[in-house]
Structure 1
Amino acid sequence: MASTTEGNPQKRQKTAKLIGTHNGTFHCDEALAVFLLRQTPAYREADLIRTRDASKLAECDIVVDVGGEYDEQRSRFDHHQRGFTEVFGHGFETKLSSAGLIYKHFGREIISRRFQFPEDDPKVEHLWLKLYKEFIEAIDGVDNGVSQYPLDVTPKYRNRTDLSSQVGWLNPAWNESVDSVTVDERFAIASTLTGTTFLGRLDYYANAWLPARDIVRDGLDERSTIDPSGKIVLFTQFAPWKEHLHELEAEANIQEDEKPLYVLYPDETAGAWRIQAVSVTPDSFESRKALPEAWRGLRDEALSEATGVPGCIFIHASGFIGGNKTREGTLALARLALKL
């Protein structure tokens, strides 16, 4: 779409809507916010003006990251003004940038239209929350100067490969002589970069991460048919399961003493099977019940002799995972581990 700055005015068709953001140095948040708006029917064909001129911003149909105002009804989405404390909600506490503001208000619509889901479909809500957690919140945090760590920890290395840094490098260097048209062109590149990355992540979560939820739900629902204890979950195919399992347990209000301890699934490459202890949280290294200490670090025949289960392959030294050549073998290991 056409992009103009106050130094490069262009006439636009009266029927085209106009998005406004600030000129000068650009950042990841407004680059993504503009891209997200153009994923909606209302702003798909909108022109863009980059300016800080209040009179020109007043002519815009929607303004992001400039103007000192947050008012959904007036389509004003800035976050720099004194007293702005808006967060995403749903347990998230990071102050929103313009990316988070636009995503909060338009994200469900964008997801719904991309995958042709009804906007009230639970899949839309799952993806909307997942994308904020895994993608948008970091952009909000970086733009607002929110430390990722609550304590003053000195990092071991610097990371300048994040998306916000990539956008920052697209700005003209301090000793470059660049006119406003060139800066607008670079902003367009930045907006495409942020948007392409966003859509790639969204497509992965919709097409790979979300379908795994049904597999995990089925395994959780049918766990008592695998073992009467209900402590063993079996998946007939591998799928990313940790986050889904913990969320589905919470949704079903499964009590602590009824939660599964071990998950069994086919090895992705070896044609064998894996047994894995369920972690205390999705990101924790601590297991609810690690595999027995006497098995840890053993392999092959030595492990089969120690367990009395043929076909053993290994048990990790920490006891969080192991392998057997067959489904029956991993199930036997799980049942033994429950008793030890």
Structure 2
Amino acid sequence: MTDQARPVLVTHSGKFHCDEVFAYAVLRLALGLRDPSRDHTLLRTRKPAAIEAGDIVFDVGGVHDEATDRFDHHQRGAPLRPDGTPFSSAGLVWRRFGEQAVRAVLPEADAGKAAAIAADLDESMVRTIDEIDNGVGQDGPRRRDSLGLASLIGDFNPSWDDPAATGETAGDAAFIEASALAEAVLRRKIAAMRARLAAEAEVLAAHAAGDDPRLLVLERGMPWKNVVLAHDLPVLLAVSPASNGNWMLDTVPPEPGSFAQKLPLPAEWGGLPEGELRALTGVPDAVFAHLRRFVAAARTRQGAIAMARLALRNA
């Protein structure tokens, strides 16, 4: 890229699609570009001379060359993923700038997570954009989802009878609006993955520090079930604080999404009134046990742990 005060980013004019809109959002994050009227120029064109003069060119131009910041995928010999899936401009830009974009969003303390998050997003999100743009998928073309990102971005295009649909700058303002949506989605995805990785680290540390590998005690509420299942931990019950001030006792499902439990809570607890539950368990601050025996609660951490130990003793 040339050393310009305002780099010129070029993509094609006319109707836009998710891949170049997403690619533009990635470039803006990675390069710290915020306002196309002040710190960079976005040019949507199909004029060869203008494309050739661009600093970064994506989804147009017939060239893929990372060394010169060219990221098109429509030409013969365009790059493929290792499994043969064709890239779109989103995948090509992500391969070059994705980790940099993720790092720009993360707090400095979490910068070390950027590579893992970028790889996860490539597989879970960017690949899907590539497949939709190229009309391919693992089982044939993907079914169009009217609430999917590609469809939502497509809806930003001016309608056929909108005056903004004609002229040299047709769709330019709508493209910027669509890129704001893409950037917002990407930022939320990065934030969610950062939180998931942080929870994974805390869950593993808490389990390692526990005195019974069947019982997981967490000092903060966080997603933990997928961590337990993914790492095949021998956890049967988990204790953690709830937002209402109680401490929850949760069971572990045998697989993600299941409503079954590896170890249901004792049958005699299910659905008991608070007073009877306290009398039966001997836990003075027991609050409730669900009729389906997958969750219970106490007022304090100690009470929830006491209920957990009773349930494990009865197992």
TM-score (norm 1): 0.72
**Letter matched to residue 219 of structure 1:** A
Counterpart check, 1:48 vs 2:42: yes
Structure 2 counterparts to residues 85-104 of structure 1, below 5 A: 86-87=80-81, 96-104=87-95
Residue 231 of structure 1 and its aligned partner are, at CA, apart by: 1.0
**Residue number in structure 2 paired with 1:252:** none
CA distance 1:14–1:305, change in 2 (3 Å) = closer
Task: Work out which of the residue numbers 14, 21, 36 in structure 1 matches 2:26.
Answer: 36
Q: 1:220 to 1:163 in 2, by over 3 A?
A: same
Structure 2: distance between partners of 1:81 and 1:165: 25
- Contact 1:215–1:239 (8 Å) recurs in 2: no
Query: Shift of residue 55 of structure 1?
Result: 4.7
Aligned residues: CA RMSD? 3.8
* Cα distance between partner residues in 1 of 2:294 and 2:82: 35
CA distance in 1, matches of 2:175, 2:131: 21
> Deviation string for 1:137-178 (max 9, x for gaps)?
554454344569x69999xxx963343333222111123343
What is aligned with 1:273? Answer: 247
> Of 189, 203, 212, which residue of structure 1 is paired with 2:199?
212
Q: Give matches, 1:161-176, under 5 Å.
A: 161-176=147-162
Pick closer, same or farther for the CA change 1:218–1:326 going to 2, 3 Å.
same
State the Cα distance separating 1:81 from its structure 2 match: 5.0
Q: Which residue of 2 aligns with 1:233?
A: 216
1:107 matched residue in structure 2: 98
CA contact (8 A) 1:88 1:104 kept: no
How big is each residue's C-alpha offset from its partner over 1:67-93, in whole Å with a ceiling of 9 and x where there is no partner? 44444334332344567674499xxx9
Alpha-carbon distance between aligned partners in 2 of 1:58 and 1:209, rounded to the nearest angstrom:
42
Letter in 2 for 1:22: H
* Equivalent position SS for 1:171: coil
Which of 232-241 and 16-25 deviates more? 16-25
Q: Note the C-alpha offset of 1:325.
A: 2.5
Cα distance change, pair 268–75 in 1 and its aligned pair in 2 (3 A): same
Pairwise CA distance, 1:234: 0.5
Are the aligned partners of 1:261 and 1:277 in contact in 2 as well (CA < 8 Å)?
A: yes
TM-score, structure 2 as length reference: 0.77
Query: Unaligned 5+ residue runs, structure 2?
Result: none
- The structure-2 alpha-carbon separation of the partners of 1:191 and 1:301, relative to structure 1 and needing over 3 Å to count, comes to same
Q: Is the 8 A contact 2:19 2:90 kept in 1?
A: yes
Residue correspondence of structure 1 range 241-280 to structure 2 within 5 A: 241-246=224-229, 249=231, 256=232, 259-269=234-244, 271-280=245-254
Return closer, same or farther for 1:151/1:75 CA change in 2, 3 Å cut-off: closer
Query: Does the CA contact (< 8 Å) of 2:106 and 2:190 recur in 1?
Result: no
**1:189 Cα deviation after fit:** 1.6
SS of match in other structure, 2:223: coil
CA distance in 2 between partners of 1:40 and 1:80 (Å): 24
* Change beyond 3 A, Cα 1:133–1:275: farther
Which of the residues 110, 116, 125 maps onto 2:115?
Answer: 125
Distance 2:122 2:93 in 1: 11
Residue 165 of structure 1 aligns with an amino acid whose one-letter code is S
Matches within 5 A, 1:301-312: 301-304=275-278, 307=281, 309-312=283-286
Alpha-carbon separation, structure 2, partners of 1:151 and 1:290: 42
Give the AA of the match of 2:295: I
Provide the rounded CA distance (Å) in 2 between the counterparts of 1:288 and 1:84: 49
- Distance of aligned partners of 1:163 and 1:241 in 2 relative to their CA distance in 1, 3 Å threshold: same
User: Which amino acid is the alignment partner of residue 90 of structure 2?
Assistant: A
The answer (yes or no) to whether the contact 1:19–1:62 under 8 Å persists in 2 is yes
Alpha-carbon deviations, 1:235-255, whole Å to 9, x = none?
Answer: 1121233344455x3xxxxxx
Letter in structure 2 aligned against 1:107: G
Report Cα offsets for 1:39-71 as digits up to 9, x if no partner.
Answer: 234877442222334454333333222344444
Counterpart among 182, 202, 217 of residue 190 in structure 2: 202
In the superposition, relative to structure 1, how do residues 301 and 161 fare at CA in structure 2: closer, same or farther (>3 Å)? same
Q: Does 1:313 align with 2:287?
A: yes
Tell me the alpha carbon deviations over residues 217-267 of structure 1, each in whole angstroms, 9 at most, x when there is no partner. Answer: 33122122xx3xx111101121233344455x3xxxxxx5x5222211011
- For structure 1, the residue ranges without an aligned partner over 5 or more in a row are 1-12, 250-255
Structure 2 residue corresponding to 1:291, chosen from 265, 277, 288: 265
- What's the % identity of the aligned pairs? 33
